[in-house]
Amino acid sequence: MSRSIPSHNRRCLLYDQGLLPYLDALEWQRSLFQERIKDPNLDDVLILLEHPPVYTLGQGATPEFLKFDLDNHTYDVYRVERGGEVTYHCPGQLVGYPILNLHSYQKDLHWYLRQLEEVLIRALAVYGLVGERISGFTGVWVEGRKVAAIGIKVSRWITMHGFALNVCPDMTGFERIVPCGIADKPVASLANWIPGISCEQVRHTLAQSFAQVFDVELIRTVRKKP
Protein backbone atom coordinates (compact mmCIF):
# COMPACT_ATOMS: atom_id res chain seq x y z
CA MET A 1 0.00 0.00 0.00
CA SER A 2 1.32 3.48 -0.86
CA ARG A 3 2.35 5.63 2.05
CA SER A 4 0.72 8.96 2.63
CA ILE A 5 2.60 12.20 2.41
CA PRO A 6 3.56 13.26 5.98
CA SER A 7 0.87 15.55 7.30
CA HIS A 8 3.19 17.63 9.53
CA ASN A 9 0.42 17.72 12.15
CA ARG A 10 -2.18 18.86 9.64
CA ARG A 11 -5.31 20.12 11.36
CA CYS A 12 -8.71 18.56 10.77
CA LEU A 13 -11.83 20.26 12.09
CA LEU A 14 -14.17 17.78 13.81
CA TYR A 15 -17.89 18.54 13.78
CA ASP A 16 -19.85 16.11 15.97
CA GLN A 17 -23.42 16.93 15.01
CA GLY A 18 -25.82 14.34 16.32
CA LEU A 19 -28.99 13.95 14.21
CA LEU A 20 -29.18 16.13 11.08
CA PRO A 21 -31.59 15.90 8.11
CA TYR A 22 -29.86 14.55 5.01
CA LEU A 23 -30.45 17.57 2.76
CA ASP A 24 -29.17 19.96 5.44
CA ALA A 25 -26.00 17.90 5.75
CA LEU A 26 -25.63 17.68 1.98
CA GLU A 27 -25.92 21.45 1.53
CA TRP A 28 -23.39 21.96 4.34
CA GLN A 29 -20.97 19.46 2.80
CA ARG A 30 -21.22 21.08 -0.61
CA SER A 31 -20.50 24.48 0.90
CA LEU A 32 -17.40 23.23 2.74
CA PHE A 33 -16.30 21.35 -0.37
CA GLN A 34 -16.61 24.39 -2.64
CA GLU A 35 -14.75 26.57 -0.14
CA ARG A 36 -11.83 24.13 -0.29
CA ILE A 37 -11.93 23.91 -4.05
CA LYS A 38 -11.45 27.70 -4.06
CA ASP A 39 -8.88 27.71 -1.25
CA PRO A 40 -7.07 24.34 -0.83
CA ASN A 41 -5.18 25.72 2.18
CA LEU A 42 -8.25 25.64 4.40
CA ASP A 43 -8.28 23.06 7.19
CA ASP A 44 -9.60 19.59 6.45
CA VAL A 45 -12.96 18.61 7.96
CA LEU A 46 -14.54 15.50 9.44
CA ILE A 47 -18.29 15.59 10.10
CA LEU A 48 -19.77 12.82 12.26
CA LEU A 49 -23.55 12.62 12.46
CA GLU A 50 -26.71 10.54 12.13
CA HIS A 51 -29.57 11.04 9.68
CA PRO A 52 -33.33 10.56 9.94
CA PRO A 53 -34.44 7.68 7.66
CA VAL A 54 -33.44 8.33 4.04
CA TYR A 55 -32.37 6.42 0.92
CA THR A 56 -29.65 7.75 -1.37
CA LEU A 57 -28.54 6.72 -4.84
CA GLY A 58 -25.06 7.31 -6.22
CA GLN A 59 -24.74 9.34 -9.43
CA GLY A 60 -24.52 6.22 -11.59
CA ALA A 61 -26.89 4.07 -9.55
CA THR A 62 -29.86 2.29 -11.14
CA PRO A 63 -33.29 2.19 -9.44
CA GLU A 64 -33.50 -1.59 -9.92
CA PHE A 65 -31.97 -2.04 -6.46
CA LEU A 66 -34.95 -0.31 -4.85
CA LYS A 67 -37.73 -2.68 -3.82
CA PHE A 68 -40.33 0.09 -3.91
CA ASP A 69 -41.62 2.46 -6.56
CA LEU A 70 -39.76 5.77 -6.76
CA ASP A 71 -43.17 7.45 -7.03
CA ASN A 72 -43.97 6.12 -3.55
CA HIS A 73 -43.54 9.26 -1.44
CA THR A 74 -43.54 7.29 1.81
CA TYR A 75 -39.75 7.33 1.75
CA ASP A 76 -37.25 10.12 1.19
CA VAL A 77 -34.99 9.21 -1.76
CA TYR A 78 -32.22 11.40 -3.17
CA ARG A 79 -29.74 10.94 -6.01
CA VAL A 80 -26.41 12.53 -5.10
CA GLU A 81 -22.94 12.97 -6.58
CA ARG A 82 -21.17 10.16 -4.74
CA GLY A 83 -20.16 6.87 -6.31
CA GLY A 84 -21.87 3.58 -5.51
CA GLU A 85 -25.40 2.23 -5.57
CA VAL A 86 -28.34 2.67 -3.19
CA THR A 87 -27.83 2.88 0.54
CA TYR A 88 -29.95 3.61 3.61
CA HIS A 89 -29.30 6.01 6.48
CA CYS A 90 -31.18 6.20 9.77
CA PRO A 91 -30.63 6.93 13.47
CA GLY A 92 -28.22 4.46 15.03
CA GLN A 93 -25.96 4.56 11.97
CA LEU A 94 -22.87 6.72 12.40
CA VAL A 95 -22.03 8.62 9.21
CA GLY A 96 -18.69 10.26 8.53
CA TYR A 97 -18.09 12.93 5.88
CA PRO A 98 -14.37 13.71 5.48
CA ILE A 99 -13.60 16.77 3.38
CA LEU A 100 -9.88 16.34 2.78
CA ASN A 101 -7.32 17.79 0.41
CA LEU A 102 -5.62 14.66 -0.92
CA HIS A 103 -2.67 16.72 -2.14
CA SER A 104 -1.59 16.55 1.51
CA TYR A 105 -1.94 12.77 1.66
CA GLN A 106 -1.89 10.67 -1.50
CA LYS A 107 -3.43 11.55 -4.85
CA ASP A 108 -4.82 8.06 -5.29
CA LEU A 109 -8.52 7.20 -4.97
CA HIS A 110 -7.83 3.50 -4.37
CA TRP A 111 -5.51 4.46 -1.53
CA TYR A 112 -8.12 6.81 -0.07
CA LEU A 113 -10.85 4.16 -0.08
CA ARG A 114 -8.54 1.67 1.62
CA GLN A 115 -7.69 4.29 4.26
CA LEU A 116 -11.39 4.85 5.01
CA GLU A 117 -11.78 1.08 5.40
CA GLU A 118 -8.77 1.07 7.72
CA VAL A 119 -10.39 3.73 9.91
CA LEU A 120 -13.42 1.50 10.34
CA ILE A 121 -11.40 -1.69 10.84
CA ARG A 122 -9.35 -0.08 13.62
CA ALA A 123 -12.47 1.26 15.31
CA LEU A 124 -14.09 -2.18 15.23
CA ALA A 125 -10.95 -3.73 16.75
CA VAL A 126 -11.44 -1.57 19.86
CA TYR A 127 -14.64 -3.54 20.48
CA GLY A 128 -13.05 -6.90 19.78
CA LEU A 129 -14.55 -7.21 16.30
CA VAL A 130 -12.50 -8.24 13.27
CA GLY A 131 -13.38 -6.01 10.34
CA GLU A 132 -12.55 -7.44 6.94
CA ARG A 133 -12.30 -6.30 3.35
CA ILE A 134 -13.72 -8.39 0.51
CA SER A 135 -11.79 -8.29 -2.74
CA GLY A 136 -13.63 -6.45 -5.48
CA PHE A 137 -15.91 -4.56 -3.09
CA THR A 138 -15.65 -1.38 -1.04
CA GLY A 139 -16.70 -1.40 2.60
CA VAL A 140 -16.12 -3.43 5.77
CA TRP A 141 -17.56 -6.79 6.79
CA VAL A 142 -17.69 -8.73 10.06
CA GLU A 143 -18.14 -12.49 9.76
CA GLY A 144 -19.32 -12.07 6.17
CA ARG A 145 -21.94 -9.43 6.97
CA LYS A 146 -21.50 -5.83 5.81
CA VAL A 147 -21.40 -3.33 8.67
CA ALA A 148 -20.00 -0.28 6.86
CA ALA A 149 -20.59 1.25 3.42
CA ILE A 150 -18.40 3.80 1.63
CA GLY A 151 -19.26 6.18 -1.20
CA ILE A 152 -17.20 9.22 -2.14
CA LYS A 153 -16.84 12.11 -4.55
CA VAL A 154 -13.46 13.66 -5.36
CA SER A 155 -12.83 16.76 -7.47
CA ARG A 156 -9.45 18.48 -7.79
CA TRP A 157 -8.37 16.01 -5.08
CA ILE A 158 -10.85 17.44 -2.56
CA THR A 159 -13.13 14.76 -1.09
CA MET A 160 -16.74 14.71 0.08
CA HIS A 161 -19.34 12.13 1.12
CA GLY A 162 -17.73 9.22 2.98
CA PHE A 163 -18.73 6.24 5.13
CA ALA A 164 -21.65 4.89 7.13
CA LEU A 165 -21.17 2.46 10.04
CA ASN A 166 -24.18 0.50 11.28
CA VAL A 167 -23.94 0.74 15.06
CA CYS A 168 -27.45 0.12 16.39
CA PRO A 169 -29.98 1.13 13.70
CA ASP A 170 -33.41 -0.31 12.99
CA MET A 171 -32.30 -2.63 10.19
CA THR A 172 -35.76 -3.07 8.66
CA GLY A 173 -35.10 -0.14 6.30
CA PHE A 174 -32.46 -2.20 4.54
CA GLU A 175 -35.13 -4.75 3.59
CA ARG A 176 -36.55 -2.29 1.05
CA ILE A 177 -33.33 -2.16 -1.01
CA VAL A 178 -30.47 -4.28 -2.29
CA PRO A 179 -27.81 -2.51 -0.19
CA CYS A 180 -24.97 -1.19 -2.37
CA GLY A 181 -26.34 -3.41 -5.16
CA ILE A 182 -24.91 -6.54 -3.50
CA ALA A 183 -27.66 -9.15 -3.34
CA ASP A 184 -25.76 -12.11 -1.89
CA LYS A 185 -24.08 -10.50 1.13
CA PRO A 186 -26.23 -9.59 4.15
CA VAL A 187 -25.94 -6.41 6.19
CA ALA A 188 -25.58 -6.22 9.95
CA SER A 189 -24.85 -3.79 12.76
CA LEU A 190 -22.44 -3.79 15.69
CA ALA A 191 -25.42 -4.43 17.96
CA ASN A 192 -25.59 -7.95 16.49
CA TRP A 193 -22.37 -8.70 18.39
CA ILE A 194 -22.49 -6.07 21.15
CA PRO A 195 -26.05 -5.64 22.46
CA GLY A 196 -26.65 -2.20 23.93
CA ILE A 197 -23.87 -0.44 22.02
CA SER A 198 -24.69 3.15 21.01
CA CYS A 199 -23.45 5.73 18.52
CA GLU A 200 -22.48 7.92 21.46
CA GLN A 201 -19.96 5.26 22.54
CA VAL A 202 -18.54 4.78 19.05
CA ARG A 203 -18.16 8.45 18.05
CA HIS A 204 -14.97 9.05 20.03
CA THR A 205 -13.48 5.72 18.97
CA LEU A 206 -14.16 6.42 15.30
CA ALA A 207 -12.76 9.96 15.51
CA GLN A 208 -9.55 8.74 17.15
CA SER A 209 -9.17 5.99 14.57
CA PHE A 210 -9.56 8.58 11.81
CA ALA A 211 -6.89 10.79 13.41
CA GLN A 212 -4.47 7.86 13.62
CA VAL A 213 -4.97 6.60 10.07
CA PHE A 214 -4.75 10.02 8.43
CA ASP A 215 -2.19 11.36 10.91
CA VAL A 216 -4.08 14.55 11.69
CA GLU A 217 -4.77 16.66 14.74
CA LEU A 218 -8.53 16.78 15.31
CA ILE A 219 -9.84 20.18 16.41
CA ARG A 220 -13.33 19.86 17.89
CA THR A 221 -15.44 22.63 16.37
CA VAL A 222 -18.98 23.89 16.75
CA ARG A 223 -20.93 24.60 13.58
CA LYS A 224 -21.94 28.21 13.15
CA LYS A 225 -25.65 28.71 12.54
CA PRO A 226 -26.40 29.60 8.87
Residue 136 is labelled as binding a ligand:
no
Is 79 assigned a ligand-binding role in the annotation? no
Is-contact 198 168, C-beta < 8 A?
A: yes
Contact predicate 142/129, CB 8 Å: yes
156 marked as part of a ligand binding site: no
Does residue 82 have a known ligand-binding role?
A: yes
- Report CA 22 to chain centroid distance, whole Å: 13
Q: Report whether 183 belongs to an annotated binding site.
A: no
Q: Which residues are catalytic?
A: 180
139 annotated as ligand-binding:
no
Q: In what order do the strands lie in the sheet with 77-79?
A: 77-79, 54-57, 87-89
The whole-angstrom separation of Cα 97 and Cα 62 is: 23
Q: Consult the annotation and say whether 173 binds a ligand.
A: no
Residue 84 marked ligand-binding: yes
* Positive/negative CA dihedral, 159, 222, 123, 137: negative
Least Cα distance to 51 among 84, 92, 99, 104 occurs for 92
Query: Binding site for substrate: which residues?
Result: 82-89, 149-151, 162-164
Query: Binding site: which residues?
Result: 82-89, 149-151, 162-164
